Amino acid sequence: METLKEAFRPKSLRDVVGQPCVRQLQALARNPRPCCIALESSGPGTGKTTCAHALANDLGCKDGWLESVYVVCGANFDAETARHYFGPESPFRFVAPGKGYHCLIVEELEYLHPQVQIILKDALERILAKHKLIVVATSNDMSKLSKALRQRFQTFFMESGPCFADAFNNTLPAIWEARMGAAPMPAGWQSFGYDGEEFSARLALDMLERYMHAAEMEVAVA
């Protein structure tokens, strides 16, 4: 069965709530231009990956190699892999999507080794000069990158505090009702997702899902 994170992840930027930078991303989707943007937050669950894929979807891109969206996980991206992806024998084919733009998504940018950062910076400069490409990176700490690579990106910081929590929590009752019908929401659901002062939508959905499973088990036993 699909998890709540999978079932309710927005497919378009218009469905993303609680992040001020979404308006700028929507403007980019409407009028694309070659650029590198970074979505940064102090932790997981603020919608960085969701926004990256939603932007790609709004551009008309598709997931998968030989298509238009490429997802690279920084934690496992060593120099040899970087040269394979961005060198002369690159698997990138840049099949033109709906708006003629391609989207390269680079996850967990802060994990890149300094040598890989150099390779990525040079590759981005070369590829952006040749293709209609938007690069979207996600990171929990852009300060770990070299100054040269940081300067390649326009960075948007994604909120993880009360404003984001309030906006996201407005969607939780509808998610609960879609699966549980008229069953009452669990007590204290407004605090789901909080870890100290920060809020994680991922954590909130995980907690809501645990209560759903518990409620379903009670019904099954009864």
User: Quick count: other Cβ atoms within 10 Å of Cβ 126?
Assistant: 11
How many whole angstroms separate alpha carbon 155 and alpha carbon 141? 11
How many whole angstroms separate alpha carbon 151 and alpha carbon 146? 9
Q: What is the pLDDT of residue 95?
A: 53
- Domain(s) labelled CATH 3.40.50.300 in the chain stretch across 4-157
Q: Please, which residues have CB within 8 angstroms of residue 56's CB and are 6 or more apart in sequence?
A: 63, 68, 69, 103, 105, 136
Predicted structure pTM score: 0.88
User: Quick count: other Cβ atoms within 10 Å of Cβ 175?
Assistant: 17
Q: What is the mean pLDDT of residues 168-190?
A: 92
Determine contact, residues 36/186, Cβ cutoff 8 Å. no
CATH number of 4-157: 3.40.50.300
> 């009752």: which residue's tokens?
173
Is the model more confident about 218 or about 138?
138
Q: What is the pLDDT of residue 94?
A: 56
Give the best-scoring range by mean pLDDT among 50-54, 59-63, 72-76: 50-54
**Band of pLDDT at residue 196, cut at 50, 70 and 90:** confident
**Band of pLDDT at residue 126, cut at 50, 70 and 90:** confident
Q: What is the pLDDT of residue 67?
A: 61
